Amino acid sequence: MPAVSHQADSVIGIYKCLCDLNRLRILNLLRVEPQCVCHIEQVLGIGSVRTSQQLAYLRRHGMVEVATRGTWRIYSLPAKPSRELVANLACLQDCVFDTKVFRTDLAVLKRIRGKACGPQAP
């Protein structure tokens, strides 16, 4: 069996990341702007450990980047996303209008932005 190319591995990694609703919800939030972990955690409501696990999984697969501001960790989409990631994020954007959980997450984010701990997005 021939070896799988690096590009194919990248595409497989993207689809593995997209197979989880919580990771899709995180990517949906990051499409708006970079987010502090505390904001992501509050919107998802799945606890800090599970939120951190999902963010770490996305980071390992190059789907998000993290920066530290003071004591806060700010997550964002990659500055130079792959073509495959851009295409799949466009599909996710289209799903936002048809899927209640994504719309609800954005509404919750808008409501908590000034109230949650952590810095505002840069």
- Helices 21-32 and 100-112 cross at an angle (nearest 10°) of 50
Q: Are 28 and 96 in contact (CB under 8 A)?
A: yes
**pLDDT recorded at residue 119:** 57
In this predicted structure, what is the pLDDT of residue 6? 64
DSSP code of 17? H
**10-112, which class in CATH?**
mainly alpha
Type of residue found at 73? R
**Paired tokens of 44:** 């998802």
User: What is the residue type of 114?
Assistant: G
Domain limits, the chain? 10-112
How far is Cα 54 from Cα 45, in angstroms, rounded to an integer? 13
Strands (E), 23-113: 35-36, 65-69, 72-76
pTM of the entire predicted model: 0.83
Contacts of 117 (CB under 8 A, 6+ apart): 36, 38
pLDDT, averaged in runs of 10, over the chain (122 residues): 63 79 93 92 94 94 91 92 84 80 93 69 47
